[in-house]
Amino acid sequence: MKDTLGLNWEHRFASRADHMKSSAIRELLKLAEQPDFISFAGGFPAPEFFPAREIEETLARLCDSDSLQYGPTEGYRPLRQLWADRLGGKVEEILITTGSQQALDLLGKVLVEPGSTVLVENPTYLAALQAWRVYGAKFAGTPLDQDGLQVDNLPTQGQFLYTIPTFQNPSGATLSLQRRHQLIEWSHKHQIPLIEDDPYGALRFEGEPLPKLVELDPNVVHLCTYSKTLAPSLRVGVLVGAPELICKLVQAKQATDLHTSTLNQRVAYELDTSGYIEKHVMELRQVYKQRRDAMVAAVRKYFPPHTRMIVPQGGMFLWLTLDHDFDSVAALERCVPHKVAYVPGNNFHPHGGDPHTMRLNFSNTRPEMIEEGIRRIAEEL
């Protein structure tokens, strides 16, 4: 609609809006809507495996006046109880959020003072950086390797440390058991809280499962989501934390959206307690393993021989490191006309840099198209 008053909105934005920038991934995703485009850019689950029929049937069954009414900000109590039982905590320690993304935003709202330092993995989840930048966070990044965050290199001061220990986004790396213990020791020693984001932990297709940080230390704030195990559009996430933190987050959430959709929470609860999700995730693990294998094989076949990769044991991403003089941003510009995209690695760094890396999503593309997409990228390298 045309702005007939001729208001100049640019001049009316609050200064915190200066920190809001469009995400490179979102811009790329617009291109991926073209027919025949092979996008390794978004963090999308495999659409062919969405449980549309199960969700439809459950929705129809649960669509009653209880589900359609306003609900408590803390969330649907049986769902909170389920997670309290699962993680050996109390119901007062569970908040249901509108996806994990909302949990990240609410944590920023209540914990980040302008200028405070948030400790992150380098690289890390782009939208966490975006969420906390708005509240004036400064970031201190610590590198990771095949065994996850290099705990020995962590700073000793910061408001909190944000980590994705299992099948990290973007690197696919998993924090080893030894480093998990070491990280908890570091947190106790320096009195810095840990925030564990775990959207991918259930998607392990190889190797021995490792304990979640929250299972090793109940002080850890833990985030989980139904986005990867059911469907992202349900927007149901779970935050586990100390009751006084939950209490403050509830006050913050009230002003944001009052509560997460009760209907969607009940659908997630039903499909979780019926055992459906467990079965569904077993199928997803097989599908994602096949896609990871296809991508790893294609990279070995078409990419320069010195390309380094972290081969993930689960999750949805492959992280590649090319020669030092390689520019993944310039290469992407050459790839897009050939209808293939990935995310240049510099986007995941709080202060940019690392232009010779790239993140490739394998879950959203069928194996035969994965090979074709990798071949097209390799031609532009």
Name the residue number minimizing CB distance to ligand PLP.
Answer: 99
Cβ at position 125, least distance to ligand PLP in Å = 4
- Interhelix angle 262-273/276-302, rounded to 10 degrees, is 90
CB of 316 to ligand PLP, least distance (A): 8
Q: How far is the CB of 206 from ligand PLP (least distance, A)?
A: 20
Query: Among all chains, which residue has been given the structure tokens 């195990």?
Result: 229
Please check whether residue 236 is in contact with residue 99, taking contact to mean a CB–CB distance below 8 angstroms. yes
Q: Given the complex with ligand PLP, which of 42 and 218 has the nearer CB atom? A: 42
Q: Which of 76, 83, 125, 135 binds ligand PLP (CB under 6 A)?
A: 125
Tell me the closest approach of the beta carbon of residue 45 to ligand PLP, in angstroms. Answer: 9
The single residue among 25, 32, 38, 43 that binds ligand PLP, judged by CB under 6 A, is 43
Name the residue among 40, 51, 43 with its Cα closest to residue 295.
40
Q: What is the DSSP secondary structure assignment for residue 45, as one 8-state letter?
A: -
Contact 320, 108 (CB under 8 A): no
Nearest CB to ligand PLP, comparing residues 202 and 322: 202
Which residues, listed in sequence order, are joined to residue 357 by a DSSP beta bridge? Answer: 321
Residues 304-333 that bind ligand PLP (CB under 6 A): none
Please select the residue that binds ligand PLP; options are 74, 197, 217, 272, rule is CB under 6 A: 197
Which helix (H) or strand (E) covers residue 325, if one does?
none
358 to 377: interface string for ligand PLP, x by CB under 6 A: --------------------
Across the strands, what pairs with 212? none
Judged by DSSP in three states, 359 sits in strand
Q: How many amino acids of this chain bind ligand PLP (CB under 6 A)?
A: 13
DSSP conformational letter for 130: H
Alpha helices in 160-261 (DSSP H): 177-190, 213-216, 243-257
Nearer to ligand PLP, 168 or 262 (CB): 168
Q: Strands (DSSP E) along the chain, which ranges?
A: 38-39, 94-97, 117-122, 138-145, 148-149, 160-163, 194-197, 221-225, 237-240, 308-310, 317-321, 340-341, 343-344, 357-361
Q: Which of residues 138-177 bind ligand PLP (CB under 6 A)?
A: 164, 169
Identity of the residue, 162 or 186, whose beta carbon is nearer to ligand PLP in the bound complex? 162
Shortest Å, Cβ 12 to ligand PLP: 29
Q: Which of 148, 199, 344, 373 binds ligand PLP (CB under 6 A)?
A: 199
Cα distance between residue 55 and residue 53, in whole Å: 5
- Beta bridge partners of residue 94, listed in sequence order: 240
Is 201 one of the binding residues for ligand PLP (CB under 6 A)? Answer: no
* Closest by CA position to 365, among listed 38, 136, 53: 38
Q: How many CB atoms lie within 10 A of CB 179?
A: 20
By beta-carbon proximity to ligand PLP, the closer residue of 225 and 365 is 225
Minimum Å gap between C-beta 301 and ligand PLP is 28
Q: Closest distance between ligand PLP and the C-beta of residue 200, in Å?
A: 7
Identify which of residues 73 and 225 has a Cβ nearer to ligand PLP in the complex.
Answer: 225
Per-residue contact track with ligand PLP, 66 to 105, x per CB under 6 A?
---------------------------------xxx----
Nearest to 215 by CA among 194, 233, 200: 194
Spacing of C-alpha 321 from chain mean position: 21
Q: Of 164 and 246, which has the nearer Cβ to ligand PLP?
A: 164
Site string for ligand PLP, 217-246 (x = CB under 6 A): --------x-x----x----x---------
DSSP 81-137: HHHHHHTT--GGGEEEESHHHHHHHHHHHHHPPTT-EEEEEES--HHHHHHHHTTT-
Give first-to-last CA distance, the chain, whole Å. 43
Residues in contact with ligand PLP by the rule CB under 6 A? 43, 99-101, 125, 164, 169, 197, 199, 225, 227, 232, 237
